[in-house]
Structure 1
Amino acid sequence: MESKAPVLINAVPPYGHVIASEKWRNTSLIQHLKGGGVKIIFENELGVSDFHLPNKSCILYISECDIIAGNSYKRKLVRYRNAGSSFQELVLVENTRLSEQYFSAVQKFVLFDLGLTLLPVSGQTEASQLITQIVHGESRENPFKRRSSSRLLDPLVLALVQQVPGVGRVKALALLQHFSSIHQLCNAAPAELESIVGQAAAQQIHSFFHKPTTADN
């Protein structure tokens, strides 16, 4: 069933429901959610967000087409980060055969430059499965949070940290073992980094993470 009700941008849907941007109405993702017993409230006024979930998290969905089309997705991500939402802001990114070559750059921008939580999905089917788990509370632990906390062990993240000037595999592993989140690593003081990787590498890492962020590079 679909529900139509006036909602606010920061509205939290009731248990068993998802608030979805109107543009998703005829998509396979919505059909899969309905098949999983999720009730949909369509709304035109969600701002940049695509979905609101009952656990006070919101989702921005970056598709394969968004990534391949160029850098416009970066402007959308910056608006999403700057929207001032009280929700936990999540970014679902399609990592497919066509978008795979761009994924490291997307991951760096989302995790390191913007400090948001990124969840790779193979497509709308997997995305609907994740959302359904949250809505129905099928796991006592939020699977978004679980995947978020384990992302530091992701080989892609390890490879990404090694792209920072002055950081090889050994230093990357040391950093990821010391810091509990990407956000902590990005905001670490030079002195804290120095105790792990030495003075020269610490300065390079700090400079790398504090370069100005724009939506157009």
Structure 2
Amino acid sequence: METKVKAVLHAVPPYGHIIASEKWRHTTLIQSLKAGSVKILFENELGVADFHLPNKSCILYVSECDIIAGSSYKRKLVRYRNASSSLQQLVLVEKTRLSEQYFSAVQKFVVFDLGLTLLPVSGQTEASQLINQMVNSDGRDNPFRRRSASRLLDPVVLALVQQVPGVGRVKALALLQHFSSIHQLCNADPAELESVVGQAAAQHIHNFFHRPTAAGS
């Protein structure tokens, strides 16, 4: 049994297929994927991950309910990050009218504290569209390929840095070229940031990463 579980944790489905945790069988996301001609293999032993994709990536889905319910989703994310897997780990997070107020804190935790790639979705229907694109991608233009030295200039990471108040595309590019890692950017002091983006933007960035997290998040 243990050997089977280890094999499933590292499993990569064939092109056009996904492996989904059994708990997703009767959801809107799965129904939408089936409508898009994606073949689905259900499995009880995926560990923390919700889906395995043929591009050697896996997905953990954080719902609106997970975020609003409190901080238990953080423990799940840490287990996901720590899982011994050879797959690229992605996190889909529902950004809705109800969860939007918590989103910046979730984003900071996922991207800057855990070093994972976060992709916001409005719900399961949009998530299914995104997964469908990844399942049917040949990998040449796949922005979710495995992490490398150039990961900081990944379009997804660039878009996330631009969400910091006062940071547009030009400043985001300058920051990602100056700092060797997301973690280093997160922990930079105002003086170091100022040398890259100027005083006003530096203060915005520093406040964004160091403001207190709302109670219960």
**Structure 1 residue aligned with 2:161, among 157, 176, 196?**
157
1:150 CA displacement: 2.2
Letter in 1 for 2:183: C
1:158 CA displacement: 3.6
Letter in 2 for 1:185: I
Taking the TM superposition and a 5 Å limit, the aligned residue runs for 1:95-114 are 95-114=95-114
SS at 1:20 equivalent: strand
Identity score, percent:
64
Taking the TM superposition and a 5 Å limit, the aligned residue runs for 1:26-105 are 26-105=26-105
1:85 CA displacement: 1.0
Question: RMSD across aligned C-alpha pairs, in angstroms?
Answer: 3.6
Taking the TM superposition and a 5 Å limit, the aligned residue runs for 1:118-197 are 118-137=118-137, 140-144=140-144, 149-154=154-159, 157-160=161-164, 169=166, 174=171, 176-179=173-176, 184-187=181-184, 197=194
Mind listing any 5+ residue stretches in structure 1 that lack a counterpart?
A: 163-168, 210-215
Distance change in 2, residues 1:86/1:175 (3 Å):
same
Distance change in 2, residues 1:170/1:125 (3 Å):
closer
- What TM-score, normalized to structure 1? 0.74
1:119 CA displacement: 0.1
Query: For the residues of structure 2 that align with 1:91 and 1:29, how far apart are their CA atoms?
Result: 15
Distance change in 2, residues 1:108/1:181 (3 Å):
farther
1:170 CA displacement: 6.8
- Relative to structure 2, which stretch is displaced further, 137-146 or 15-24? 137-146
1:12 CA displacement: 0.4
1:151 CA displacement: 3.4
Query: For the residues of structure 2 that align with 1:62 and 1:152, how far apart are their CA atoms?
Result: 18
Mind listing any 5+ residue stretches in structure 2 that lack a counterpart?
A: 146-150, 196-201, 211-215
Contact 2:158/2:172 (8 A) holds in 1? no
Query: For the residues of structure 2 that align with 1:80 and 1:9, how far apart are their CA atoms?
Result: 11
Structure 1 consecutive aligned stretches of length 4 or more whose deviation exceeds 6 Å: 170-173
- What TM-score, normalized to structure 2? 0.74
Letter in 1 for 2:97: R
Letter in 2 for 1:87: L
Contact 2:56/2:88 (8 A) holds in 1? yes
Letter in 1 for 2:154: S
Q: How many positions carry a matched residue from both structures? A: 194
